[in-house]
Every structure is written in structure tokens, then in C-alpha cells.
Structure 1
């Protein structure tokens, strides 16, 4: 076997192994989508076949009706409102705080930055009870405000990520803008923010994923069915006291993937660039 043939063979083997690994990773999602078109018996028979024997589209109609007089349209609307506001607030607040830590000098800046980094070491579960007590005393429970309000104060992970990206932006641009008459706010708005686009879009993607999939927060702070999010509503399909409609549950789970898929589809090309913090692009 000559070198060229061996190289071609290795490429074929590599691509076959990648396809197999990719199929294994995506198989659970395919099985869920397939389950949205099956009845309970077909789902629970233990078959690994992802092709439904009968395409039961009525699962989507039945699942969309929801339960307790509340349709899944309400749950999707609640999730979109909470996720959209929280994501926008995270982007704006984190970018502003990152700019202040990265570009401005003021007393206590290093101390505040150290305290912010320390918050990354705290598990969310540790903060759950103190935050609940605080919001409850403020009269904000039950409501969606506790799920949104913290995001207006920045998120440490995204602040640090944006700071790393800003480190690749030459300070000479700030100085040139200052000479041209820009204030610090103008430098941030017209110089830093446009160049921060990859990091901003990375924040949008990751924060949207996290907030859309959040189960613990809505479970703690929401008590009325008309205020539930998709994550809570999907859990309520599994009823331990009666027969669970798995087909409808999988149908609504499939629909819940659409916003996440669209966000990734439109913005994925910026994801690697934002995470790598490779600096300026032409």
C-alpha cells in the first residue's frame, strides 16, 4: 500500500468514525422527535427504531392544548418574555461592567473585580434560600421579577468573557476617539461595542440556552399555571397519579427545541470567534 492510498484510507476511516460518533450523540434527540409521533405503547416497548410505525400528528394538537385550562401557547409566551428580557439585560449590563473593569480606572476597581470573580465560586443552590427570602420580603414572590431582575446587574461569567475579548482591542483606538472629542460613554458606544460583536453574540447564545432551559428558578418563584414556563409545563406532563401522555410530552419537547435551534442556526458562526477572543477582525 503506497503512501497516497494509505492517506485516502485514513481519511475515509476518520470520516466514518466521526459520522458514527455524531449519530450516537444526536440519536437521543432523533428518538425524542420520533416519540412525538408515537403513542405510549410504541414509545414504551423498548424499541430503538426512530421511524414511527404510524405518524400520529394528533400528539402535537393534544399537547398544545396544555392542561388546567392553560395552553402551551401561554407557556411558550412566558418563556420567550423571561428569556428575552433576561438575555438582553445580561448583554447590556455585562458589557457596561466589563468596560468599566477593562478600560476605566477608579478607586476600588481591583477589589470589586476580585469580589466579582469570587462569586463564580458560589454554587447557585447556596444563594437560593437567601435570594428567595429577600425577594419574598420585597413582595416579589410569586412573580417573574426574581427571574429577571438579577440579570440587570451583570453576570460574572459573561463580564469576564467580555473583558478577555476587550483585552484584544488596542487601546490606541480609545485614545484616538478621545482626541476626536469622544467621552468615555462615546468610546464605549461607538468604538468598543461594535468591536465586541462576537463576544456579545456568544453571550446571547449561551444566556438564551441557560435561561430557556432553567427549571429551578421558575419552580421556586412561580406558583400559578398561567405564569409557568415551558420547562415547568413539560414536567407536569409526567403525572404520577394518572396515565402520562408521553407522545404529547415529546411533541411539546420537540417544539421547545425550535427557539434554541434557531438561535444557534443564525448565530453559530460568531460563537467560536467570541469564545476564542481572537481580537480584531478586518
Structure 2
């Protein structure tokens, strides 16, 4: 059986790409439409007329806070959460992959079990704990737990570290390196692809997180972009769909930029190729 010609292949791949990107294209086109015509069945994909005021209305924000405030709050939350998850997960993964201690397999199994627990199971106990600590209406309940590791990132990094030959650790020990130096000078530089993957996923998950901020943030000036977008919808008055879609496009820009800049690191990190030679 002959292979299909290259142009047939590209037509099929292009068709599937358009199909997958259609929701984003529809969102982009809808951000330039009047709110009352967005969900009209007879309305075409191309806006008629083009409404550029949706972006201005959306940027004005809600509750006296511009959308820039919500973006700043989200960037701060993403930064502290991402740094905490990546650093702590790397340290914990090094312990599981390289160190020997009592109950190592047991604790690793417990860690994996927490990965399979639905968030709804721990949501109420965590809320009670943070309420007693007086952390409500702040980013602490979201950012501080990140410094105790993330099960998925720990598992990813453990698998990556296990592909690194132990002979490097032994050689470093002979040269006088202690455990910390082995981790800092040998392991960390070699697991940079996996660290980049963890950082990118942490960015995505925190940027899109709605449930956490809704639970713990009460003041409008501390809202994240996900909460701000939700505030454009109203059960009592007419929802401003145009402004919401316009700001949705704005919030998607960092996601696309990060993906296109670091997609190579995502592939390298997930493949856990380790050392080649």
C-alpha cells in the first residue's frame, strides 16, 4: 500500500488543526461582536458590525478595579505557587530517588494515593485549617501548600532522576561532595527539562484555577483573572458576554506565549530521556 501523498497528509492535519482550534477562533470572533448577537444562530462567524469597545469595557474591570489588577494578582499567585511547587517537588523527588530511609516505599505509595484523591475530599478540612490560621482572604491557602510538593511533579521528577546513573553520585562523593552538593551540582542541572515541564504545568494550572480563589478570596481587589471573568456573568442583569470574551482572549495570550516558547521543554521533560551516550 502506497503512502498518501504529502499534500493529502497536510490537508488532513490542517483540517484537524482547524477543528481543534475552532473554539478559540469562535471566542476571538465573538469578542468583537455585540453581546446581544453572540448567541444568535443566524449570526455568522465574522462579526458584523465589528465592536472594539468590548476590550475597553472589559479592561475597566469590576468593583472599581481594572482588569490589570486581576492580572497582577494572578501573576503574583502564579509566581509564588510555581516556585514553591518546583523547588519542593525537586527536593522530595531527590529523596525518593536517591536516598534510603525507613518506610521509603510506604511513603511513596502514600504520596501517590494523594495524587488520586479528588480535591473535594480535602477541600473542607483544608478550609477549616486555614480559617483557624486566619489565612482567609489571602493567597496563603493557595501558595503555602505549594511549598510541600505536588504529587504529580514529584512522580515526574523521580522517574527522571532514576534515569541518571548513580555512578555520577559516587564520583561526586569521592570528590568530597555531600548529599546537598550532589543534589545541587549534579542532579539539578541534569533534570532541567523535567523542572521546566513542572514549571509550565504549574503555571497553566494556577493561571486557570478558579475553585481555590473562589474559596479563599473575598475582596474584589484580590481577585484573580478566573474570578474576574466569572464576575462578568450575572443572574440578575444582562451578562456582558462581549467584555468577558474580550478579556478571555487577553488572558489566553500568556498561555499561548508560554506554550510556544517552551513546548520543546515539555516534550523533553515528559519523555524522561535522562542521559544519552
Which consecutive aligned stretches of 4+ in structure 1 deviate over 4 angstroms post-superposition? none
Distance 1:209 1:57 in 2: 28
Distance 1:47 1:24 in 2: 20
Distance 2:46 2:144 in 1: 44
User: Could you say which residue in structure 1 is the equivalent of 2:211?
Assistant: 216
Is 1:59 aligned to residue 37 of structure 2? no
User: Could you say which residue in structure 2 is the equivalent of 1:168?
Assistant: 163
Deviations 1:128-157 (A, max 9, x none): 000000111111112110010110000111
User: Could you say which residue in structure 2 is the equivalent of 1:236?
Assistant: 231
Is 1:270 aligned to residue 265 of structure 2? yes
Q: CA RMSD in A?
A: 1.5
Is 1:207 aligned to residue 202 of structure 2? yes
Select which of 3, 9, 32 maps to 1:7: 3
User: Could you say which residue in structure 2 is the equivalent of 1:77?
Assistant: 72
**How far 1:262 sits from its partner (Å)?**
1.5
Distance 2:57 2:34 in 1: 12
Q: Gaps spanning 5+ residues in structure 2: where?
A: none
SS at match of 1:132: helix
Distance 1:191 1:47 in 2: 62
Distance 1:117 1:250 in 2: 38
**How far 1:202 sits from its partner (Å)?**
0.6
User: Could you say which residue in structure 2 is the equivalent of 1:252?
Assistant: 247
CA contact under 8 A between 2:210 and 2:226: conserved in structure 1?
yes
**How far 1:172 sits from its partner (Å)?**
0.7
* Gap change, CA 1:243 and 1:278, over 3 Å in 2: same
State how 1:80-99 maps to structure 2 within 5 Å. 80-99=75-94
State how 1:142-161 maps to structure 2 within 5 Å. 142-161=137-156
TM-score of the superposition, structure 2-length normalised? 0.96
TM-score of the superposition, structure 1-length normalised? 0.94
CA contact under 8 A between 2:197 and 2:266: conserved in structure 1?
yes
State which drifts further: 107-116 or 265-274.
107-116
Q: Gaps spanning 5+ residues in structure 1: where?
A: none
State how 1:21-32 maps to structure 2 within 5 Å. 21-32=16-27
State which drifts further: 54-63 or 161-170.
54-63
**How far 1:47 sits from its partner (Å)?**
4.8
User: Could you say which residue in structure 2 is the equivalent of 1:195?
Assistant: 190
**How far 1:68 sits from its partner (Å)?**
1.2
**How far 1:48 sits from its partner (Å)?**
6.8
Deviations 1:39-94 (A, max 9, x none): 11331222574332233222111100011111111110111111111011100000
* Gap change, CA 1:184 and 1:28, over 3 Å in 2: same
**How far 1:105 sits from its partner (Å)?**
1.2
Distance 1:55 1:203 in 2: 40
Deviations 1:235-282 (A, max 9, x none): 110111111111111010000011111211211111111111111257
Distance 1:102 1:176 in 2: 17
